[in-house]
Amino acid sequence: MGCLQSKASDKGFKDPPAKQLDSRLPFENYRQFFNFKNSWKTVARKTDACAQENMLLFFERFPQHKALHTDLANLSEEQLKMSMAFQNQSEAIFNLFDDVLQKCDNNVDGAIRDCLVAGEKHKHIPGFQPEYFKDMEDTFLQACRTALEDRFSEATEQNFKHFYGFVTQQMCRALGSENNRI
């Protein structure tokens, strides 16, 4: 009895070709992207809590950015937790990442377009600077780490950083940032 692989080869069957990854995506290969997508599914199931944790940490660490959210700027942490505007704003961030990810498999142009549209919206916020995205990266990763618990490995962190960088780089393009990087 041989292995199934060799029997299939003997009959002329070939392994399916490895799935190709669009070169515009920030992953080295499809396996890395696949692993990120699987990790993101856990985060997506916990969007409410994860998104709110991200924004609370972000406002705590970077109060200057809280001022850009005029409807949230004067609310205490307790008031934020009760605010529908806060819930909507915090979830909008994670929903953007989710929407972009869903398109990355078959429609990278659409994914990039979603990022550009989101970036364009930020362009109209008085006083908004691209550093906002850079400053949020650590709190975003912390919220995802909390959601994934012991499944948040170094490789997982790198995948999340790659994807976060991809989304924010595209958003910066819409802002007209000189080098499109933050």
Residue pLDDT, tens place only, 76-135: 999 999 999 999 999 999 999 999 999 998 999 999 999 999 999 999 899 999 999 999
Domain count within the chain: 1
Q: 20 exposed, middle or buried (CB, 10 Å; 0-12, 13-18, 19+)?
A: exposed
Task: Look at residue 18 in the predicted model and tell me its pLDDT.
Answer: 72
For 67, list phi and psi in degrees, rounded to 5.
-65, -25
| Three-state DSSP state, 144 | helix
Residue 7 lies in a domain: no
User: CB of 111 within 8 A of CB of 103?
Assistant: yes
Q: Burial of 124 by CB count in 10 Å (0-12 exposed, 13-18 middle, 19+ buried)?
A: exposed
Domain contains 153: yes
Domain containing 160 equals 26-175
Q: Assess if residue 17 is contained within a domain.
A: no
- % of the chain beyond a pLDDT of 70: 87
By the 8 A CB rule, do 171 and 133 touch?
yes
- Cα-based torsion angle of the residue sequence 138, 140, 145, 146 in order, rounded to the nearest 10 degrees: 120
Q: What is the pLDDT of residues 135-155, one digit of tens each?
A: 999 999 999 999 999 999 999
Average pLDDT, stretch 15-26? 84
What mean pLDDT, rounded, does the chain reach? 90
CATH of the domain at 99: 1.10.490.10
Q: Which residues of 63-77 are buried (b: 16+ CB within 10 A; e: fewer)?
A: eebbeebeebeebee
- Residue 101 CA to residue 33 CA, distance in Å, equals 10
pTM of the model: 0.86
Examine residue 18 and state whether it is found in any structural domain, yes or no: no
